[in-house]
Structure 1
Amino acid sequence: MDLELQNVHVLITGFYRSFLAYSNVDQSIPGASGGIGLETTRLFLKQGAKITAHYNTNATSLDDLIAEFGSDKILAAQANLSSEDDVVRLFFKANGALGPVQVLVVNHAISPPEDEPVVSMALERWRNTIDTNLTAAFLVSREYLRQLEFASDEGKAKAAIVFVGSTAGKYGEAGHADYAASKSALMYGFALSLKNEIVKIAPKGRVACVAPGWVRTPKKAEKLKDPVFVHRALATVPLKKPAEPWDVATQIVVLSSTRLSGHVTGQVVMVDGGMEGRLLNKGSDEQGLETL
């Protein structure tokens, strides 16, 4: 099926290295240059779209796609999305290379690996997570809308923003309230406000969100080898398996397509295998449970 994405310019955010102050573990968060973002980029390119793939520090995983599809179809562009000037520069570079951005996919995020309850969470960690996941999403979305104001009617007809949220934004996540709060704000308060604002600029413009549960990305590969972890992670998931990056990428592309989703806006598509919530009581916690 033709998704009518031929030559549509899509900007995908997404690759961060952060929180090294909190951990010796490499905190590379898959974005346009890894995991979900890489699979999404590949799928858009196969549909004939043009891609600006944003990265923060490393774009080497994009090399094969650039070699396969050509620099006239994909641009790797560096920016610190927490900087207003960098965001403006990112769009200027994208527009100059591939034409006006028509679809925005906000895929970047960080999440410190350490479980840190709110009672002991450092303000620095909270601010860094919120700034990276939420404030940067605001800056990118704002610049996209500002550019959209000057787009042609044809360009505005394809306008769409797709956010990548998380099941943590719906259910919360103990020990990661910073990440859960940033995703919840993105998925609901921010996205639902934007879907009413974008139409003032582009009458057919749409805003939606894809919210994955556990996904088999390179970052999660080691954890998903642990059967105890897998049992806990999938304990309330009827499909009893993590998603593949492809599962998330297809939903992003579908929501970006006016052909398939032209009357879909303000929706959060949960790509979570049917998750009903998180297992709260496990191991020693179960000793305090009452018998029903």
Structure 2
Amino acid sequence: MVNRLQGKNAIITGAAGGIGLETTILMLQEGASVLMADISQPALSSALTKVQTLCPGTHVETIQVDVSSESSVKAMVEKVDSWGGVDIMFNNAGIMHADDADAIATPEKIWDLTQNINVKGVWFGCKYAVESFRRNGKVKGSVINTASMVALVGAATPQLAYTASKGAVLAMTRELGIVHAREGFRFNSLCPAPLNTPLLQDWLGDDKEKRYRREVHFPSGRFGEAIEQAHAVIFLASDESSFVNATDFVVDGGLTKAYVTPEGPAAAAPKNQAS
């Protein structure tokens, strides 16, 4: 623990699992007070138990929030005003619906649901973070918005509503970073690659071909881990990144820079490796 976030107040949406949960733990270990926000109260309760076990003596609270609801996001931010105001906002909540497909097959209701959570939810988080920064006399503040590498290169498997929503997050974050730079407020997008999560592993199952079609794109031959994204968020939240603003911060193991042959990186593995 080096206390890079000592005395800072942070809000993390989508905090009950994955990147959000790992970031919560790291932020607490770095000295921040954290409000964990999620739409699922049972998931929040379970996550809080884990966090309190790993980070005893730290200041962490939870709040159930629907990021697509402006009043819900406003109440979330106002809760942290009672701590002295927001210093770090991590707009991490988002969805990728199973019925999200291409332009022909994606139902309108899935498109609207995805945009409401992934775009409008981020907008509300940014809006009320700025209001809190100003209201509490902050001379600097950091907002990190979870986007995706698919907003940069597109997805091989159709997921149009999700990809479009994450492209919107990139554009919105860039503009906000420029608009608020003179106030000392920084806005950056986190662009993860597919991560090794229980949801992904359940989806892949025992289908070796399906797994290979995705792993082959990674130069390292593996998916990313949520903790690797969390470390990037800590950097963007801290003063170590004080001159990093309006960026698309890509943490993808080199995936977006790789040219993959049909055989893929796995073909280059030593032939005598044990299987």
Smaller-chain TM-score bracket: 0.7 to 0.9
Please point out which of 225, 235, 240 is paired with 1:244.
225
Q: CA deviation at 1:279?
A: 9.8
Query: Contact between 1:216 and 1:224, CA under 8 Å: does it hold in 2?
Result: no
Could you say what secondary structure the match of 2:194 adopts?
Answer: coil
Letter in 2 for 1:73: H
Paired position in structure 2 for 1:148? 133
Residue ranges of structure 2 left out of the alignment (5+ in a row)? 263-275
Q: 1:111 to 1:281 in 2, by over 3 A?
A: farther
- Number of residue-to-residue matches in the alignment: 257
Q: CA deviation at 1:133?
A: 0.4
Instruction: Determine the C-alpha separation between the residues in 2 that align with 1:143 and 1:71.
Output: 28
C-alpha distance after superposition, 1:152-186 (max 9, x if no partner): 3xx333x0111111122112224210000000110
Instruction: Determine the C-alpha separation between the residues in 1 that align with 2:153 and 2:48.
Output: 33
Could you say what secondary structure the match of 2:75 adopts?
Answer: helix
- 1:193 has 2:175 as partner: yes
Query: Contact between 1:195 and 1:265, CA under 8 Å: does it hold in 2?
Result: yes
Paired position in structure 2 for 1:262? 242
Query: Contact between 2:90 and 2:144, CA under 8 Å: does it hold in 1?
Result: yes
Paired position in structure 2 for 1:135? 120
Residue ranges of structure 1 left out of the alignment (5+ in a row)? 15-31, 283-292
Letter in 1 for 2:159: H
- 1:229 has 2:210 as partner: yes
Segments of 4+ moved more than 6 angstroms: 277-282
Q: CA deviation at 1:228?
A: 1.7
The alignment's TM-score, normalised by the length of structure 2, stands at 0.86
The alignment's TM-score, normalised by the length of structure 1, stands at 0.81
Paired position in structure 2 for 1:89? 75
Instruction: Determine the C-alpha separation between the residues in 2 that align with 1:195 and 1:186.
Output: 12
- Map 1:213-224 → 2, pairs under 5 A: 213-224=193-204
C-alpha distance after superposition, 1:112-148 (max 9, x if no partner): 1245221122111100000110011101110111111
- 1:80 has 2:66 as partner: yes
- 1:183 has 2:183 as partner: no
C-alpha distance after superposition, 1:234-278 (max 9, x if no partner): 2222111111111100001111111x1111111112111111379
Identity %: 23
Could you say what secondary structure the match of 1:163 adopts?
Answer: strand
Q: CA RMSD in A?
A: 2.3
Q: 1:280 to 1:142 in 2, by over 3 A?
A: same
Instruction: Determine the C-alpha separation between the residues in 2 that align with 1:93 and 1:242.
Output: 36
